[in-house]
Amino acid sequence: MLYNWQTKSRQTGQPFEDQKLQQAELARLKREVGRLEDEVSFLKKAAAYFAKQPR
């Protein structure tokens, strides 16, 4: 399967249109993952802070 994809790519000399769209989507998803990881980190710190406070 990969061999066929490489062969077609070499024959046309252009990357597939979908590949550009997939790369853009991948970049967007990586940014979103980074943002969500920051949120999780913040929420863990907030939970630890409030758990230490006396009631």
pTM over 0.85: no
Mean pLDDT by 10 residues, the chain (55 residues): 73 72 95 98 96 81
3-state secondary structure of 44: helix
What whole-number distance in Å separates Cα of residue 40 and Cα of residue 10? Answer: 43
Tokens of 26: 């991948």
- Answer whether 16's CB lies under 8 Å from 9's CB: yes
